[in-house]
Structure 1
Amino acid sequence: MRDEALLPLTSHGEQEIIAWHGGRAVTTAEFLAQAAALAAALPGAGQAVNLCEDRYLFLLAFTALLMRGQANLLPPNRAPRVVEEVVAAYPGSYCLVDRPHGALAVQQFTVAVPAGQGEGAPIRAIPEDQLAAIIFTSGSTGAPRPHHKYWGELVRGMERGRERFVLHALQGGTLVATVPPQHMYGLEFTILFPLLNGLTLHGGRPFYPEDLRRALADVPGPRVLVTTPVHLRACVAAGLAWPPVALILCATAPLSAAAAAEAEAAFGCPVQEIYGCTETGAIATRRTVAGPRWQPYGGVRLHCNDGVCRAEADFLRGAVPLNDVIELHADGFVLLGRDSDMVNIAGKRASLGDLTHRLLDIPGVEDAALIVQDEGNERGGRLCAVVVAPQLTEQAILDALRPGLDAVFMPRPLYRVARLPRNESGKLPRAELLALLEQLRRGDGVQ
C-alpha cells in the first residue's frame, strides 16, 4: 500500500496572524489548536453539514472536519427543508451551526471557539485523496447536484489562483468578503484563498455598505474584497469614502463593464471577475473593464467539439463538460452564454446572458433577469424581463433597450420589482424566479 501524499492545511507560519475574529488577532498556532480541540469533540460520522455563518467559525468547523476525516456537506441554501433533504441523503450526518436552528429537525452541534486545546499535536497536513467537501450546485439552472471535492484538487486549484493574482505582493494583507462560504466561489475565495495563500481572513460577513466600510477600515492592508455584482453595485451607489483596497474579486452573476468601471473608480483598484462552476471551481479570470475575453488559469486547457466545451487541469479529475457556450481565441475565450441560456425565437438565436448584460448596461438598472415564456409555440416563445430600476419606468427601459436589440428579443412583458430573489451567494435560483414571475402575472402586488 503506497504512502498517501500529505498536503499542508495552511501556508501560514505558526506565529503569523491567520484570522481576525471578535476584534482580536488569531495566530496559526491558536487556530490549529482550536480546530484540534473541536475535532476531538465532534460526533462520529462520515459527513456533516457546515452551516456556520460566522466566517471564522465556518473555517474552524471546516478544518476540524478535515482533521477528523469527515467531509463538509455544503447545501445549495440553508432552507430547513433543503438541509433536511441533504442530511437524509447522507445517513448518519449532522449539522454544524454557530447558533441552534429551531426549525431544523436534524441533529445539531453548536460550534464555538474551544476554551482548551485538544490532546496531542494538531494535525497540520491532510491526505491529498481525502474527500474534503461535497458541494451542491446552486439550482440556478435546475435541480441542485452534489460534487465531490478532494483536498489535493482544492489545494492545486488555489496554487493556480496564487499564480494568477501574484499574491506574494499581498502577503500579510487581509481578505474581507460579503459572500457566504457554503458554495464553490465562497469556499474557494473566502476560505481556501486566504488559508493557503498567506492572507489573513476577516471572520465576519458584512452585508450593508456601511458595515463593509467599517470592516475594511478595521483591518490592516493590503485589503482584498471578495463580493458579488449585486453587493458591488450597492456599495458604489452608497457613495461612501472607502479605505484603500488592493483588489476586488467578483462572481456569481453578470457584471457589466460600466458597473465594473464605476467600482474601480469608487474603490481605486482593479476588479477581477472569476469564471468557474461548482464542477470545476475557478478556472479563468478577466478584468471586466479591459474587454470580454477571459484568460484561463495556467495549466487549464479548454476543448470545444460538437458544441460541447470541456476543461482539463491538474486539479480536475479528467475532462469536465462546461454548461457554457465558449468561443476560443489564441489569447483566451469569450463567454457567449450558458448552453441552457441559448434561445431561438422566430428562427433567431441569442444568449440570455448577453441580453441580460444589455439590460444591466442601461443607466438606472440595478439588477435584471430574463426568462423564456411559451417555449412550445411555433415561434419559439417570447422573452419576459424582471428588472430592478427604482427611478425608471417600464417604457423608459424598453426605449433604452430597443436601439441595440432585434425586435423578436424585446421583452414582453417587462416587470419592475423592488428586488430579485437572489440567494446569499448572489445566485438566482430558477424555481424562485419562476415563483416571482407567477406572482407578477397574477398581479399579487410584488412591486
Structure 2
Amino acid sequence: MTELLKTWLYQGPSSQQLISFNHHDIVTGSAFTAQVAALHASLSEQPAKRWLLASDSSDLFAIGLCAGLLAGKQLILPSNTQAGTLSELTHEFDGILSDSCLCEGKLMLTLKKEHSGAESHWPSLADNATVGELVLFTSGSSGQPKAITKTLAQLDAEVSVLEQTFAAHLPHCSVISTVSHQHIYGLLFKILWPLAASRPFLSDLVEYPETLTYYTSLFPNLCLISSPAQLSRLPEALEHQPQLHSPSLVFSSGGPLNFQAAAEIAHCYGKPPIEVYGSTETGGIAYRRQSADNQPWRIFASHQIKQDAMDGALLLKSPYLDNDDWLKCDDKVNLVSDSEFHLLGRLDRIVKIEEKRICLVQMEQLLECHPMVSQAMLMVLEQPRVQLGAAIVLSSQGQQLLNNEGKLAVNNLLKAHLLTQFERVTLPRRWRYPEVLELTPQGKRDNQRLIELFSHD
C-alpha cells in the first residue's frame, strides 16, 4: 500500500495545490491550510469528542473533515439532514460542524471560508494523540440506523487501491459529482481520493445536465462521479447524440447500471462508465465496464471472495475491513471464477431507490406509527421504472379521511409523515388502500397479491 491519503493528511497540501473550484471561486492549498488550521484550533479547545459533520458545500465539508480528523475527533456523517434523521442520531454527537443551523441545544462551530490573512501552518497531531475517525449511518435490516466506523487506515487503504487501479485511465483532471459526499461513495470518490491525488473537485453538486455540459466544455480533462439513476436519464438530456466534449472518465455506483444505459452513455461520451460495486460496510468490492450484457464484476486485486454454500451469499476478505475474517455480505452471487461474479440480488429487505439505500422495514414501521395507518407493506415495483409501492390498511380515522377528502389527501399526509426521516426521491410513488393485506397460509407476506394490487391503475 502506498498510504496515499495518510501521507497527504499528515503533511497537508502544497500551497499551489488546487483544492476545489466552482464557477466564481477557487480554493488553493494555502487558503485551505489557513481554513483547516483555524477550525482545528477551535476544535482543539473543545473537550467534546463526537461532532456531526454536514454541509452541502464540498470544500467546507473537506475543511471540517481534515480539521476534525487531525484534532482526534469522531466525525458523525448523517445520510441526510432531515429533522427526523437528526433526531434519531441526537444521542450520537455532542457538537455540530456545519454552515447551517441543523438543530437546537447542541454546541456548534460554523464552517466558513473566511480566515485571517496571516500565514498558517498545517495542523499536526499532538504528541501521543491519535487521528480521528468517521462514523457513517446506513439502514440496518432491523429498521434502526446502523453505525459504521471508518478509521483513517481503512479509508487510506481504499484510496490507495483506487489510485493503483484507475490512475492509468485518468489524466491530470478535475472531479465533478452528481452524488453527495455525505455517503461513502461520494466521500471517497469526490473528496478523499481527489485530495490525496491532487485532483481539484467542484465544490457544488451538479444537479442539471446543462451544468454538466458547461463543465465538460470548460475542462479538457474531467472525471464525473455519478449514479445509475442519473446516468440512465442523461442520454435523453444529451439528445442521444455523441458529444463534442466528454468526461475523460465516468464512475457509477449505488447499484448496477443496466446494459442499455451503459451503451447509451458510451454512444454519447465515447466510453461506458466504470461501475463500482460495494457498500458502506465493505467499501468498494468490485468493478466492471460493460461491453456486453450481463458482464461479470471483477474484484479489486487486494480482495478475496468465495460463496456461502448455504444461501449463495458473497463472502469477502478485504484490507478495507477492520479484521482478517471472512465477511458475509447481503448479496447473493454466482461465481464465475475466483475473481469474477454475477450479482443475483439482495438477501435482506434493504433496497436502493434512486441509489439511496432504504430499509423497507424502517419505512413500514414509520408508516404504522401514524394514527391513520393500521398496517403497511412496501414493495419494489420494476415498471415503468424502479419505484416503491405502498399498500396501506387504514385505521377507522384514516378511512374516514379517505372517504371525506379522497386518496390524494391521504397520500400527501403520509408522504409528509415519511419526509421526517426519508428524502423525497425515495418515497413511494404508488399507493393502494385495500381493506386487508392477505398473508400466505404460512403467515408470510403474499407478494403475488401485492403485485396484483399494483397491476392496474
Deviation (angstroms), 1:119: 8.2
What amino acid is the match of 1:322?
A: C
Deviation of 1:322 after TM superposition, in Å, equals 1.0
Structure 1 position 79, deviation (Å): 0.7
Contact 1:174/1:201 (<8 A) preserved: yes
Which letter does structure 2 place at the counterpart of 1:95?
I
Residue correspondences, number? 369
Query: Cα gap change, 1:304/1:25 in structure 2, threshold over 3 Å: closer, same or farther?
Result: same
Find out whether 1:274 has 2:276 as its counterpart: yes
Contact 2:175 2:194 in 1 (8 A): yes
Of residues 297, 308, 328 in structure 1, which corresponds to 2:335?
A: 328
1:232 matched to 2:231: yes
Change (3 A) 1:383 1:282: closer
Q: CA separation in 2, counterparts of 1:160 and 1:128?
A: 27
CA distance in 1, matches of 2:106, 2:184: 24
Alignment correspondent of 2:345: 337
In the alignment, what sits opposite 1:77?
80
Change in 2 beyond 3 A, CA 1:294/1:142: farther
Aligned to 1:56: 59
State whether residues 310 and 322 of structure 1, in contact with CA within 8 Å, keep that contact through their aligned partners in structure 2.
Answer: yes
Alignment of 1:128-277 (within 5 A): 130-138=131-139, 142-165=143-166, 167-168=167-168, 170-218=170-218, 220-239=219-238, 241=243, 243-277=245-279
What's the CA shift string for 1:18-50, capped at 9, x where partnerless?
A: 221453332223212221112223472212111
Kept after mapping to 1: 8 A contact 2:175/2:202: yes
Aligned residues of 1:285 and 1:294 also touching (Cα < 8 A): yes
AA aligned opposite 1:123: P
State the AA in 2 paired with 1:385.
L
Q: Deviations over 1:139-180 (max 9, x none)?
A: 688432001100011011111111111x15535310000111
Q: Identify the residue that residue 410 of structure 1 maps to in structure 2.
A: none
Deviations 1:351-392 (A, max 9, x none): x99xx9xxx9xxxxxx9x9x99xxxxxxxx9976264569xx
**Secondary structure at the residue paired with 2:135?**
strand
Identical counterparts, % of pairs: 25
Q: Secondary structure at the match of 2:30?
A: helix
Q: How far has the Cα of 1:302 moved from its partner?
A: 1.3
Aligned-pair CA distance for 1:317: 1.4
Match of 2:419 in 1: none
Structure 1: how far apart are the matches of 2:23 and 2:237? 26
Distance 1:121 1:231, change over 3 A: same
How far residue 12 of structure 1 moved from its aligned partner, in angstroms, is: 5.4
- Give SS of 1:288's match: coil
Q: Which moved more, 1:180-189 or 1:306-315?
A: 306-315
Once the two structures are superposed, what CA deviation does each residue of 1:221-278 show, in whole Å capped at 9, x if it has no partner? 3210001112112222112656321111111133100011111211223301111111
- 2:321 corresponds in structure 1 to 316
Please give the secondary structure, in 2, of the residue aligned with 1:206.
coil
Residue 136 of structure 1 and its aligned partner are, at CA, apart by 0.8
Structure 1 CA distance for aligned equivalents of residues 253 and 73 of structure 2? 28
Change (3 A) 1:78 1:429: closer
Instruction: Point out where structure 1 has 5 or more consecutive residues left out of the alignment.
Output: 343-351, 361-366, 373-380, 391-416, 422-427
Q: 1:23 to 1:142 in 2, by over 3 A?
A: same
Structure 1 residues 326 and 124: CA distance shift in structure 2, 3 A: farther
Structure 2 Cα separation of the partners of residues 15 and 116 of structure 1: 19
Using the TM superposition, give the Cα deviation of residue 190 of structure 1 relative to its aligned residue in structure 2, in angstroms.
1.1
Scaled by the length of structure 1, what TM-score is found? 0.72
The verdict on how the C-alpha distance between 1:312 and 1:64 changes in structure 2, with shifts beyond 3 A counting, is same
CA contact (8 A) 2:223 2:250 kept: yes
- Give, in whole Å, the separation in 2 of the partners of 1:81 and 1:74: 15
Tell me what 1:396 maps to: none
Q: Indicate how the Cα distance of structure 1 residues 111 and 382 shifts in structure 2: closer, same or farther if over 3 A, else same.
A: closer
> Residue in 2 aligned with 1:376?
none
Task: Tell me the C-alpha RMSD between the 2 structures.
Answer: 3.9
Between the aligned partners of 2:291 and 2:423, the Cα distance in structure 1 is 27
Distance in 1 between the 2:105 and 2:235 partners? 41
Letter in 2 for 1:205: L
- Deviation for aligned residue 1:138: 4.3
Please give the alpha-carbon distance, in whole angstroms, between the structure 1 residues aligned to 2:213 and 2:129. Answer: 38
**What residue ranges of structure 2 are gaps of 5+ in the alignment?**
362-376, 387-410, 416-421, 435-452
Distance in 2, matches of 1:118 and 1:142, equals: 49
**8 Å Cα contact 1:14-1:27 kept in structure 2:** yes
Structure 2 CA distance for partners of 1:389 and 1:152, relative to 1, 3 Å:
closer
Q: 1:385 aligned to 2:381?
A: yes
